[in-house]
């Protein structure tokens, strides 16, 4: 069965599995997590700490097993020392004890495996087969370069490990362009069914990103406003203070457009713009996101602005035209969004680490306060600001009357839903949610192959268009190069709140 057929077959009948809304700490069927590339950066920084937190919450029990499979021969004590710094916040916040740590380590096994020369497959097979049964999911997490996905999946197949309960987790970059992305996908689809493939975009696991769906689809008040009659434009900013740092070589061959826009930012655009799905299940949500991607108008050269922080080439040690900042104007050609620009921007070494979606509503059609001569801020539109990180929350900017005498003096005020102040729970890392969804068999927050391809269809022409154009330089610690994009439309970027 090919990937397309399997996706079409996944219908309403699967909802019980796909969409079972278990409470956050509910235990799931005991599963085996096999991390291929288990001693690498992603495993140490993200995957293992996320599993530790789930263990602390009681969601992962002693019945689970975690295997870190890697070329490196390592003792468990040394491995534990490597993960520990990334788990330290669990101890400093008083949640984890030494007994928890020992308990967690007791479910970890290290396996020496080299997917490139297919050695160690027997060890892995023996480990998996010890507990294999039809009710026990085995999750193979490819924490390795995508160039090795083919070798790794073929090895799993040779070892007889591609069973119905096997699931495959892959991370971006899923290709360098549409063509390579399709080639990677073809390798995966040869061995795994689409329903077994979990393509992570960790932005979809962020609490506030999921909350965006709750905001839109669990409340009625915004729905009637959520269109081109009421919304003037949308801005999405994902600003980072870090530079390319130790990933400079990887980053230089990708740049901000491939690294951030092709995946994270386009996914955010989809969640803001998508139609309500009939059900909150994997294929319905992904069908609606795909429709948005397909409705995005081909991007023109004057819809794109690129930048590079001044120190970048010095850090890299060579000349480079790679963009470390990009801003784009996207138009979505459908009934709901015709005429509403979506401005997106992301950059490294910017003034602050902050990700925000700002929905700016249209002006009132008739302003009674302006006419009275008292409306000094009457020109401010309403805005809904969805703060993705840090200090997650929602702010609705409204115009109010300033209390006291002096007539009808108006000023901007806001309704502020700060998640920190409202919820006692710790906001889990995106990986925690996504890893548990793989055990649960819920693909809603993972990308389907056709979404990835559709995103590349938007991005490939942009990359071709800007090839050879030097990005504008910007000062590290600024908000990117001087804006040409919004200025051309008579608008300006709304800088994120200071944390």
Distance CA 139, CA 32 (A): 6
Distance CA 33, CA 80 (A): 17
Nearer to ligand BG6, 240 or 287 (CB): 240
Distance CA 65, CA 104 (A): 10
Nearer to ligand BG6, 367 or 420 (CB): 420
| Contact flags string 213-252 toward ligand BG6, x per CB under 6 A | ---------------------------x------------
**Min CB(322)–ligand BG6 separation in Å:** 12
| Contact flags string 316-345 toward ligand BG6, x per CB under 6 A | ------------------------------
Q: In angstroms, what CA-CA distances link 371 with 209, 361, 401, 480? A: 40, 21, 16, 38
Q: Which helix (H) or strand (E) is 136 found in, with range?
A: none
> According to CB under 6 A, which one of 259, 303, 432, 450 is a site residue for ligand BG6?
259
Distance CA 497, CA 357 (A): 11
Q: How long is the chain?
A: 499
User: Tokens at residue 128, please?
Assistant: 């998996």
**CA 125 to mean position of chain CA atoms:** 32
**Min CB(14)–ligand BG6 separation in Å:** 29
Distance CA 173, CA 175 (A): 5
264 counts as catalytic? yes
Nearer to ligand BG6, 348 or 383 (CB): 348
**Min CB(218)–ligand BG6 separation in Å:** 24
**What is the C-alpha R_g of the chain?**
24
Distance CA 54, CA 254 (A): 33
Angle of CA points 289, 292, 298, to nearest 5°: 140
Q: In angstroms, what CA-CA distances link 108 with 44, 66, 127, 202? A: 13, 5, 12, 24
Burial of 432 (0-12, 13-18, 19+ CB in 10 A): buried
Nearer to ligand BG6, 228 or 241 (CB): 241
Selected catalytic residue, list 202, 233, 264, 449: 264
185, 174 Cβ separation under 8 angstroms: yes
**Min CB(252)–ligand BG6 separation in Å:** 12
Nearer to ligand BG6, 80 or 316 (CB): 316
Nearer to ligand BG6, 107 or 434 (CB): 434
**Min CB(487)–ligand BG6 separation in Å:** 27
**Min CB(267)–ligand BG6 separation in Å:** 11
Number of residues that bind ligand BG6 (CB under 6 A): 3
**Min CB(254)–ligand BG6 separation in Å:** 8
Nearer to ligand BG6, 240 or 450 (CB): 240
End-to-end CA distance of the chain: 50
H helical segments located in 159-234: 178-191, 207-217
Instruction: Tell me: cis bond preceding 332? Omega within 30 of 0 counts.
Output: no
**Min CB(206)–ligand BG6 separation in Å:** 7
Q: Does 193 bind ligand BG6 (CB under 6 A)?
A: no
243, 350 Cβ separation under 8 angstroms: no
Nearer to ligand BG6, 202 or 448 (CB): 202
| Contact flags string 195-214 toward ligand BG6, x per CB under 6 A | -------x------------
293, 458 Cβ separation under 8 angstroms: yes
Distance CA 488, CA 367 (A): 26
Active centre residues (catalytic):
264
* Site for ligand BG6, rule CB under 6 A: 202, 240, 259
């Amino acid at each position: 069965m090919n990937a397309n057929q399997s996706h079409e077959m996944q219908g309403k009948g699967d909802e019980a599995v796909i969409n079972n809304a278990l409470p956050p700490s509910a235990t799931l069927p005991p599963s085996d997590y096999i991390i291929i590339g288990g001693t690498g950066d992603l495993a140490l920084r993200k995957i293992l700490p996320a599993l530790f937190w789930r263990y602390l919450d009681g969601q992962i029990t002693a019945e689970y097993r975690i295997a870190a499979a890697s070329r490196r021969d390592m003792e468990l004590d040394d491995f534990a020392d490597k993960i520990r710094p990334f788990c330290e916040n669990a101890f400093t916040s008083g949640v984890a004890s030494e007994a928890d740590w020992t308990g967690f380590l007791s479910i970890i096994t290290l396996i020496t495996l080299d997917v490139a020369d297919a050695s160690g497959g027997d060890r892995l097979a023996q480990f998996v087969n010890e507990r294999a049964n039809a009710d026990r999911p085995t999750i193979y997490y490819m924490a390795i370069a995508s160039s090795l996905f083919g070798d790794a999946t073929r090895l799993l197949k040779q070892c007889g490990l591609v069973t119905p309960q096997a699931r495959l987790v892959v991370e971006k970059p899923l290709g360098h362009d549409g063509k390579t992305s399709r080639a990677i996908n073809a390798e995966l689809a040869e061995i795994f069914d689409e329903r077994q493939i979990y393509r992570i975009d960790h932005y979809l696991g962020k609490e506030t990103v999921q909350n965006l769906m709750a905001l839109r689809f669990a409340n009625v008040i915004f729905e009637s406003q959520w269109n081109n009659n009421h919304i003037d434009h949308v801005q999405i900013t994902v600003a980072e203070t870090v530079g390319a740092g130790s990933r400079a070589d990887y980053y230089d061959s990708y740049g901000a457009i491939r690294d951030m826009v092709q995946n994270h930012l386009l996914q955010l655009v989809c969640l803001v713009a998508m139609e309500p799905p009939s059900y909150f299940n994997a294929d319905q949500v992904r069908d609606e996101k795909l429709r948005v991607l397909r409705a995005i108008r081909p991007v023109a050269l004057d819809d794109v602005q690129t930048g590079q922080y001044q120190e970048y080439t010095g850090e890299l040690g060579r000349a480079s035209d790679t963009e470390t900042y990009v801003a784009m104007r996207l138009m979505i050609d459908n009934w709901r969004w015709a005429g509403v620009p979506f401005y997106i921007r992301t950059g490294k070494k910017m003034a602050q680490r902050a990700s925000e979606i700002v929905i700016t509503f249209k002006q009132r059609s008739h302003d009674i306060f302006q006419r009275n001569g008292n409306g000094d801020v009457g020109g401010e539109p309403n805005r809904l600001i969805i703060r993705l990180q840090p200090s997650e929350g929602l702010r609705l900017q409204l115009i109010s009357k300033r209390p006291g005498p002096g007539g009808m003096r108006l000023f901007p005020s806001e309704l502020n839903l700060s998640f920190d102040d409202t919820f006692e729970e710790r906001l889990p890392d995106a990986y925690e949610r996504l890893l548990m969804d793989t055990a649960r068999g819920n693909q809603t927050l993972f990308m389907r192959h056709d979404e990835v391809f559709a995103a590349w269809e938007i991005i490939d022409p942009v990359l071709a268009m800007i090839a050879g154009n030097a990005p504008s330089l910007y000062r590290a610690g600024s908000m990117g190069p001087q804006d040409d994009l919004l200025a051309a439309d008579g608008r300006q970027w709304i800088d994120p709140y200071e944390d």
